[in-house]
Structure 1
Amino acid sequence: MVTSVAPRVESLSSSGIQSIPKEYVRPEEELTSIGNVFEEEKKRDGPQVPTIDLKEIDSEDQVVREKCREQLKQAAIDWGVMHLVNHGISDELMDKVREAGQAFFNLPVEEKEKYANDQASGNVQGYGSKLANNASGQLEWEDYFFHLIYPEDKRDLSIWPKTPKDYIEVTSEYARQLRSLATKILSVLSLGLGLEEGRLEKEVGGLEELLLQMKINYHPKCPQPELALGVEAHTDVSALTFILHNMVPGLQLFYEGKWVTAKCVPNSIIMIIGDTIGILSNGKYKSILHRGLVNKEKVRISWAVFCEPPKEKIILKPLPETVSETEPPLFPPRTFQQHIQHKLFRKTQDALLNKQS
């Protein structure tokens, strides 16, 4: 039996506490920017996360096709995040994925504990809560379920939820369709850098090696949302991240020096460019800083799928075509694993410095 290291946030939330434990409270400098997410989402002034309509991405009309692809490329350069609509994945399938994940989290905590992961021993797949992985010892207001969903031969179905009964079927189908969408996006981003169409896909591991990891983030109601964060500010290490959510706002992007709240766009999938593509493109495509807010009124659930290159097989560095005398390489060569370690080390150093200052 796996013992749970941190209390489940869901249990804290439903215990009736009026104030959150101190390890969930953000540092002073972050608190000034945390507002009411429902108010933030209503704002119409200021920059908005772009919505990209993919309907014409493969149009036979060259002008129409190029216009669509140019918009996608531009959003990747300016923002590094976008709402994708007409992406080819049916509303029905997305609803089923949401219903299946919601049904799992509706189970009693004791039931979910049967799927608990054991992060201490490196077993990260399964049901968990954030352990402090930096020196500040801070926790996020979320529980989650994490598992590899593609390629199919690398999955461990034994740890996938058995309830609801269609969880495996709908999640597998969603993974297959998302994998095709990733190929489509990567080819447009390749062409946008002046590379041949299949280049970025090859550079991140291709069909055999690119891993799709799903993390269902469950953010219970929080008695003091102005003090907590659902997900702390970070950039994704992935190549691409695709996010579905239950239409409760919470995602914020750090754009031009300010936190911008992503709107809830019906039937969209949010796509974020991760560090991997940021590195390969030598910073031409942006890996944007983002975080998640929580609230008092509604549970927020999001389904994030991280498309990740293999940990050791590929050296990530700016592609030669993206480098010139005037644009030297911005990133040193590292494996994906080394990149993750480097980020964790920097985070720990920063946290120690903050404690001392």
Structure 2
Amino acid sequence: MEVERDQRPHTASLMAETIPVVDLSNLDEEQVSRAVVKASEEWGIFHVVNHGIPMDLIGRLKEVGAQFFHLPEKEKNAVAKQAGSKDFEGYTTNLKYVKGEVWTENLFHRIWPPSCINLTYWPNNPPQYREVIAEYTKETKKLSERVLGYLSEGLGLPREALLQGLGGESTEYVMRINNYPPDPKPELTLGVPEHTDIIGIAIIVTNGVSGLQIFKDDRWFDVHYIPTAITVNIGDQILRLSNGKYKNVLHRAIVDKEKQRMSWPVFVDANPDVVIGPLPELITEDSPAMFKPITCKDFKYRRLLKLPVD
């Protein structure tokens, strides 16, 4: 039975939940692997510290993102999502004082592999934007492959198993920059409604303003912020590939009345033509498949239209 969830995130301040923190500098790789696996089984979300991505690069990422959203509307619209497009790429905005609406503007574009990049949606302004995103892509790709390697080992499989399950070298990486300006009427809106990520995993940094909430143990929690950490979310595709071993975290984002909140998730997403289902090596007589195989593009289509998948 589905749990009835409180839909009024602004009525009271929620307790900050200390989600698992994994130190990737630990020389004991087995211990690191166990920590990532345990966090993914029990939470579906965790912080990583000493992750290897230079903090000055993360600072430049935040700087060019903030600079983009401070541009005049005409300049932001130069990379806007095309009217009628069924794809997600481009700049979008939805800043309305309407109950039930979201309060956010976003920039969304693919960053890897090179064959799927459409520079139409990469801003020319600020001038450093493309250089910073390209550099950050390389670092994020290394981090995500390390995390996926640990998760594969946790399934008793080779380190490349889950990455191959997502499409191997054709796995897509997508940058989404979320801007939540101060909202004079935060009781009416959400930054992002409750959902699980439709992708494999998400690698996330923020500007430090709280707003991410997760649903666990029948209640919502604010996720605590660690300045040097990167947050990892487990998404629907890893839930399915792992045959339910790893949890896809239910989460949402709220907005602040006085502070601008920003986040920079990189989504590691299966190639559209890849079949997303439990990895064959995991299926036995004692452990039958929990999910039906379905192509990634069909899975997303059905999820987005709220149609049955299994």
Map of 2:24 onto structure 1: 54
Q: Pick from 73, 84, 103: which aligns with 2:37?
A: 73
Indicate yes or no: 2:245 matched with 1:284. yes
Aligned residue in 2 for 1:215: 176
Once residues 290 and 69 of structure 2 are traced to their aligned partners in structure 1, the CA distance between those partners, rounded to angstroms, is 42
Question: The residue matched to 1:148 in structure 2 has which SS?
Answer: strand
1:72-114 deviation per Cα after TM superposition (whole angstroms, max 9, x unaligned): 1100100010111111001100000000000000112222122
Query: Structure 1 residues 50, 29: CA separation in 2 closer, same or farther (over 3 Å shift)?
Result: closer
CA deviations on 1:123-151 (whole Å, 9 max, x unpaired) are 432111359xxxxx953111100111111
Cα 1:119–1:175 shift into 2, 3 Å: farther
The verdict on how the C-alpha distance between 1:119 and 1:29 changes in structure 2, with shifts beyond 3 A counting, is farther
Query: In the alignment, which residue of structure 2 is the partner of 1:148?
Result: 110
Letter in 1 for 2:294: R
Q: Which residue of 2 aligns with 1:169?
A: 131
Alpha-carbon RMSD across the aligned residues, in angstroms, is 2.1
**Could you say which structure has the higher helix fraction?**
1
Alignment map for 1:213-252 (pairs within 5 Å): 213-252=174-213
Kept in 1, the 8 Å contact 2:194–2:252? The answer is: yes
| Aligned partners of 1:252 and 1:292 also within 8 Å | yes
C-alpha distance in structure 1 between counterparts of 2:88 and 2:216, whole Å:
31
- What does residue 10 of structure 1 align with? none
2:303 partner letter: K
The alignment's TM-score, normalised by the length of structure 1, stands at 0.80
Q: Is the Cα–Cα contact under 8 Å of residues 196 and 249 in structure 2 kept in the other structure?
A: yes
| Equivalent position to 2:54, from 65, 82, 90 | 90
One of 331, 334, 337 as aligned partner of 2:294: 334
Partners of 1:164 and 1:148 lie apart in 2 by: 18
Cα–Cα, structure 1 residues 257 and 324, in superposed 2: closer, same or farther, change >3 Å? farther
**Which residue identity lines up with residue 221 of structure 2 in the other structure?**
V
The structure-2 alpha-carbon separation of the partners of 1:119 and 1:340, relative to structure 1 and needing over 3 Å to count, comes to farther
* Partner SS for 1:325: coil
Unaligned runs of 5+ residues in structure 2 are: none
Do 1:211 and 1:310's aligned partners in 2 also have CA atoms closer than 8 Å? yes
User: Equivalences for 1:97-116 in 2 at 5 Å?
Assistant: 97-116=61-80
Partner-residue secondary structure (3-state), 1:101: helix
Q: How many residues align?
A: 302
Superposition map of 1:185-334 within 5 A: 185-207=147-169, 209-312=170-273, 314-334=274-294
Q: Normalising to structure 2: TM-score of the pair?
A: 0.92
User: Is there any run of 5+ residues in structure 1 with no aligned partner, and where?
Assistant: 1-27, 132-136, 349-357
Q: Which residue identity is paired with 1:276?
A: Q
Looking at secondary structure, tell me which structure has more strand per residue: 2
- Following the alignment from structure 2 to structure 1, what is the Cα–Cα distance between the partners of residues 239 and 88? 25
Check the 8 A contact 2:181/2:259 in 1, yes or no. Answer: yes
